């Protein structure tokens, strides 16, 4: 019999695609989507959905018991830019939802947990290029602090209680199906929408700000791969570095300009520039490659190709 899975935060940028991918893999009736708001029609119509606040322990526990859930993917989070505006709300959501799920696993009500960390765990004194798995991590953002604390909790629950929790540090994720919300890397999606709709874009980061990024298909593949591999293969119980590609806004604009020669970008950095400046430019993910055979597939040119093709033929514009 297939395992039953609960996704918390199923209607967000990652949750939407992850839910559909897991439903395709394990069966629509085995993957329960939940969020504090409803999602798109494909998600709502393809399987069970529960309105659920991930910070409410009792409500999460009830759903886990009702559906006899074995695995939880906790995708609910407040991202970096919004978290700077609402620090306490971000801390409440990002930490309490994680502790609730870890406690359910500690009490053997579920058997496996996926929780995403981020490149935001790193800070301005971390080595910027090829940032290693283990290095200085002095994050200066609310979001980064919550992700770093979350990583420590994951490692602690694994060591102390044997909780099978698995995690990756996502770079900025580029997708066309669902818009992101409140992140610093969101420019790398907005820019495609604007290239198609307006032929110009006002970028909130400087043109030479190089950040680690990944196409969503790679991120979903990594998430499912780490969850499916044998527990003994997972050597990092905090979170794994994960790399796709790295580029600057100017390089991304140039790749779009190969298809739209008249595309114009202006640069008007705002408070998100400070956040981006504190993050790495590129990531060394050799531990993930070694332990569970991770390898990304999409580079910038393939990503631009996919984004333009899919946005053109979808109604998300
Ligand atoms: C953000 O920009 O906040 C996120 C992230 C890098 O975790 N996309």
Which helix or strand (DSSP H or E) is residue 155 part of? helix 142-161
Helix (H/G/I), strand (E/B), else coil: 109: coil
- Residue 244 maps to which CATH number? 3.40.50.720
Rounded distance, CA 222 to CA 191, Å? 25
pTM for the model stands at 0.97
Instruction: Pick the atom of ligand 1 nearest to 185's CA.
Output: 2
User: Is 238 part of a structural domain of the chain?
Assistant: yes
Rounded distance, CA 120 to CA 206, Å? 18
Ligand 1 neighbourhood includes 80 CB (under 6 angstroms)? yes
Q: Above 90 in pLDDT, residue 203?
A: yes
User: Is 51 part of a structural domain of the chain?
Assistant: no
Ligand 1 neighbourhood includes 185 CB (under 6 angstroms)? yes
Q: Which residues contact 277 (CB under 8 A, 6 or more apart)?
A: 124, 209
User: Is 41 part of a structural domain of the chain?
Assistant: no
Task: Output the DSSP codes for 254-293.
Answer: HHHHTT-TT-EEEE---THHHHHHTS-SSB--HHHHHHH-
Rounded distance, CA 21 to CA 217, Å? 10
User: Is 107 part of a structural domain of the chain?
Assistant: no
| Ligand 1 pocket: which of 118, 145, 168 to mutate (most atoms within 8 A of CB) | 118
Instruction: Pick the atom of ligand 1 nearest to 170's CA.
Output: 7
Ligand 1 neighbourhood includes 170 CB (under 6 angstroms)? yes
CA of 175 to the centre of ligand 1 (A): 13
Rounded distance, CA 198 to CA 195, Å? 6
Q: Above 90 in pLDDT, residue 5?
A: yes
Q: Identify the band that residue 205 occupies on the pLDDT scale cut at 50, 70 and 90.
A: very high
Q: What is the pLDDT of residues 141-182, one digit of tens each?
A: 999 999 999 999 999 999 999 999 999 999 999 999 998 889
Q: What is the pLDDT of residues 261-283, one digit of tens each?
A: 999 999 999 999 999 999 999 99
Ligand 1 neighbourhood includes 4 CB (under 6 angstroms)? no
Q: Please tell me the predicted confidence (pLDDT) of residue 1.
A: 62
Instruction: Pick the atom of ligand 1 nearest to 79's CA.
Output: 3
Instruction: Pick the atom of ligand 1 nearest to 279's CA.
Output: 6
User: Is 106 part of a structural domain of the chain?
Assistant: no
Helix (H/G/I), strand (E/B), else coil: 305: helix
Percent above pLDDT 90 for the chain: 96
Ligand 1 neighbourhood includes 239 CB (under 6 angstroms)? no
Range of the domain at 135: 117-317
- Measuring CA to CA, which residue among 49, 145, 158, 59 is closest to residue 100? 59
Q: What is the pLDDT of residues 221-241, one digit of tens each?
A: 999 999 999 999 999 999 999
User: Is 191 part of a structural domain of the chain?
Assistant: yes
Is 143 known to be catalytic? yes
Q: Encoding tokens for residue 312?
A: 């053109």
User: Is 259 part of a structural domain of the chain?
Assistant: yes
What is the arrangement of strands in the sheet containing 117-118, beginning at the earlier edge strand?
117-118, 168-170, 240-241
CA of 1 to the centre of ligand 1 (A): 36
Q: Please tell me the predicted confidence (pLDDT) of residue 97.
A: 98
More confident residue, 289 or 1: 289
Q: Please tell me the predicted confidence (pLDDT) of residue 315.
A: 60
Q: Taking all residues of the chain, what is their mean pLDDT, rounded to a whole number? A: 97
Ligand 1 neighbourhood includes 120 CB (under 6 angstroms)? yes
CA of 118 to the centre of ligand 1 (A): 7
Q: Above 80 in pLDDT, residue 2?
A: no
Burial 187-214 (b: 16+ CB within 10 A, else e): bbbebbbbbbeeeebebbbeeebbbbbb
Upper half-sphere CA count for residue 190 (Cβ side, 13 Å): 16
User: Is 14 part of a structural domain of the chain?
Assistant: no
Choose the catalytic residue: 73, 143, 192, 240: 143
Counting the structural domains of the chain, the total is 1
Q: Identify the band that residue 301 occupies on the pLDDT scale cut at 50, 70 and 90.
A: very high
Q: Above 70 in pLDDT, residue 40?
A: yes
CA of 25 to the centre of ligand 1 (A): 27
Mean pLDDT across 137-141: 97
Which helix or strand (DSSP H or E) is residue 211 part of? strand 211-215
Q: Please tell me the predicted confidence (pLDDT) of residue 314.
A: 85
Mean pLDDT across 78-95: 98
């Amino acid at each position: 019999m297939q395992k039953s899975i609960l996704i918390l935060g199923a209607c967000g940028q990652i949750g939407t695609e992850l839910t559909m991918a897991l439903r395709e893999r394990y069966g629509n009736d085995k993957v329960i989507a939940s969020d504090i708001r409803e999602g798109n029609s494909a998600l709502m119509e393809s399987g069970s959905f529960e309105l659920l606040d991930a910070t409410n322990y009792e409500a999460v526990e009830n759903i886990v018991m009702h559906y006899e859930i074995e695995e939880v993917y906790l995708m609910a989070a407040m991202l970096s830019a919004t978290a700077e505006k609402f620090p306490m709300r971000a801390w409440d959501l990002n930490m309490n939802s994680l502790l609730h799920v870890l406690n359910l696993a500690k009490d053997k009500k579920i058997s496996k947990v996926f929780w995403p960390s981020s490149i935001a765990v790193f800070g301005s004194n971390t080595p910027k290029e090829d940032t290693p798995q283990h290095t200085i991590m002095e994050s200066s953002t609310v979001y980064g602090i919550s992700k770093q604390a979350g990583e420590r909790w994951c490692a602690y629950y694994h060591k102390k209680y044997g909780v099978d929790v698995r995690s990756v540090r996502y770079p900025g994720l580029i997708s066309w199906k669902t818009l992101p919300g409140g992140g610093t890397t969101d420019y790398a999606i907005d820019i495609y929408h604007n290239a198609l709709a307006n032929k110009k874009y006002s970028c909130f980061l400087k043109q030479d700000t190089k950040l680690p990024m990944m196409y969503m298909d790679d991120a979903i593949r990594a998430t499912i791969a780490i969850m499916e591999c044998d527990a003994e293969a997972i050597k990092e119980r905090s979170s794994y570095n994960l790399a796709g590609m790295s580029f600057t806004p100017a390089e991304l604009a140039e790749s779009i300009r190969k298809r739209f020669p008249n595309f114009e970008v202006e640069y008007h950095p705002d408070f998100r520039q400070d956040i981006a400046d504190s993050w790495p430019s590129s990531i060394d993910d050799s531990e993930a490659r070694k332990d569970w055979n991770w390898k990304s597939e999409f580079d910038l040119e393939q990503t631009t190709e996919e984004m333009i093709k899919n946005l053109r033929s979808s109604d998300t514009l």
